[in-house]
Amino acid sequence: MRITEKMLFNSATTSLRRSTEAVAKALDRNSAGRKILRPSDDPIASARILNYGQSIAKVDQFIRNISSAGEFLSSSDSVLSGLQERIARAGELATQMANAPSQSLERKIAAVEIRQIFEQVTAMANTTHRGQHIFAGHKTATKPFDFEKEWRGQTVGTSIEEAIEIVSYDSSDPSDASNDRLNLTVDGVNVQVTLNAGFYSGVALAEEIQGQVNEALVFSNTTPDSSVEVKFEPDEAGSEKGHLVVTSNLVKGHSSVVFNRIVQPEADPTAPAKPPLGDARLALGLTNGKSQLSGEEYLGDSGEISILAESGAMLSKNLPGDQVFKGNANGVDIFATLLNLETALETSNTVGIQTAITDMDKATDQISVERAVIGARLNRLDETKVRLTDFQVGTLEIKSKEEGSDLFSIYEAASLLVQQQEALQKSLAVQARILQQPTLLDFLR
């Protein structure tokens, strides 16, 4: 086979181009710090690298979700910690004013501090975190508690039967089981009414209570504008059970309706109180009823905002304000409790002060439960974040090995670059010697 100069030139050019491309590729690997720069370098490994990258990106988002939720929950816990301190102070004041031989002036001074505590608590309830109201449920852009609106004190009883028997108290019967006496405080005024014996429907009983309480309020003449409205509301359409709703018609901050325990009077003031006699609260579901502020002062909702902490695992990052501050169905309305205490102190109502002390204890327990929920969620978030971080680090190591970006592969790429450069230099030297050999034109000269 005849080898021409053109063939030698083409072969030399092709060899040089391949050597140069090999050096350029090795140089790119060293610059990028990776073995695989494009899918064509290793299609199977490239698919695995893509999956690893997607897993890492997903974990990154989970960790961001956890960090955001952790900040939100920590802000909520900080507010509840301050709330506990304010409730504790209110309970301390109530205990001092109830036990000490306090004069009316001292209690009025204490009422001023309770009002300041109330203002602090309302500000806490409207706390924001990064522009979001933390106690508004799903409605984070809405201020959850608006105390500029008109509202009235209200007590909602628990479920009772439609047909109720009222039994008169018999002082001569030691096993008396009557339920005819109702003792309550309306807007700071102590009222005791005795219901007539007989069988009542829920509606008839509501009318009877409303008439007797309002008559007693007019007779006392302490707060001329005070009156109550009593309704029987069925639990559902056609239900034989329902609940009583007793609402004060006095608008704004001193409006309250609190039902108190009836204690038989004692001849000796130092003697211990006997059990309640003739207490209608038991039959009317008002013993465990809830004192609250009527109206729509809570503008949030009961929704919980959930975040995706990891695949298939949702976790709530907020506590709705109606649950924390109003206690939902069986809890304590903290706002109403503070206002009831303020009213009781201003009017030197010792029964109302004692009732407020009990409610303060319940409020403290209520907040403690919510803080425990926050603590459990924060612990879970921390544990999940540690586990996800470990997974992320492990996945990054595997991805680095696939890409050839680990330390061993970097050294290997550097060594390969040196080899390719040496190969290029040798190729250039060989080609130079070949191209410098004598040709036919050299002999023809």
What are the residue boundaries of the structural domains of the chain, listed by start?
Answer: 58-388
pLDDT confidence of residue 340: 85
**How is residue 267 annotated by DSSP?**
S
The tokens for 305 are 């905002």
pLDDT band per the 50, 70, 90 thresholds, residue 414 = low
Alpha-carbon gap, residue 418 to 426, rounded angstroms: 12
Task: Work out the average pLDDT over 354-367.
Answer: 90
pLDDT confidence of residue 238: 75
Distances (CA, A) of 155 to 185, 244, 256, 285, 387: 11, 8, 8, 11, 49
Judged against a pLDDT cut of 70, whether residue 3 lies above it is answered with: no
Residue with token string 């707060």 = 223
Judged against a pLDDT cut of 60, whether residue 424 lies above it is answered with: no
pLDDT confidence of residue 434: 59
pLDDT band per the 50, 70, 90 thresholds, residue 264 = low
The tokens for 128 are 């924001």
pLDDT band per the 50, 70, 90 thresholds, residue 76 = very high
Task: Work out the percent of the chain whose per-residue pLDDT is above 90.
Answer: 33
Task: Work out the average pLDDT over 405-409.
Answer: 49
pLDDT confidence of residue 407: 46
pLDDT band per the 50, 70, 90 thresholds, residue 399 = confident
pLDDT confidence of residue 207: 94
Supply the mean pLDDT for the chain: 81
pLDDT confidence of residue 445: 55
Phi-psi region of 190 (alpha: psi -120 to 50; beta: other; left: phi over 0): beta
Judged against a pLDDT cut of 90, whether residue 417 lies above it is answered with: no
Judged against a pLDDT cut of 80, whether residue 196 lies above it is answered with: yes
Give residue 45's Cα distance to chain centre. Answer: 45
pLDDT confidence of residue 438: 60
Judged against a pLDDT cut of 80, whether residue 70 lies above it is answered with: yes
Judged against a pLDDT cut of 90, whether residue 92 lies above it is answered with: yes
The CATH number assigned to the domain with range 58-388 reads 1.20.1330.10
pLDDT confidence of residue 370: 94
Most confident of 205-214, 335-344, 390-399: 205-214
pLDDT confidence of residue 134: 95
Read off the pLDDT of residues 98-143 as tens digits, 9 standing for 90 and up: 876 767 788 889 999 999 999 999 999 999 999 999 999 999 999 9
Most confident of 96-105, 365-374, 436-445: 365-374
pLDDT band per the 50, 70, 90 thresholds, residue 363 = very high
Residue with more model confidence, 401 or 81 = 81
pLDDT confidence of residue 162: 81
pLDDT confidence of residue 98: 86
Judged against a pLDDT cut of 70, whether residue 426 lies above it is answered with: no
Judged against a pLDDT cut of 90, whether residue 349 lies above it is answered with: no
Phi-psi region of 137 (alpha: psi -120 to 50; beta: other; left: phi over 0): left
Minimum mean pLDDT among 123-127, 275-279, 339-343: which range?
275-279
**How is residue 41 annotated by DSSP?**
G
Minimum mean pLDDT among 44-58, 205-219, 345-359: which range?
44-58
Give yes or no for a contact between 250 and 225, defined as CB atoms under 8 angstroms apart.
Answer: yes
Give yes or no for a contact between 316 and 304, defined as CB atoms under 8 angstroms apart.
Answer: yes
pLDDT band per the 50, 70, 90 thresholds, residue 326 = confident
pLDDT band per the 50, 70, 90 thresholds, residue 379 = very high
Judged against a pLDDT cut of 60, whether residue 23 lies above it is answered with: no
pLDDT confidence of residue 50: 77
Terminal-to-terminal C-alpha distance of the chain: 26
Give yes or no for a contact between 59 and 339, defined as CB atoms under 8 angstroms apart.
Answer: no
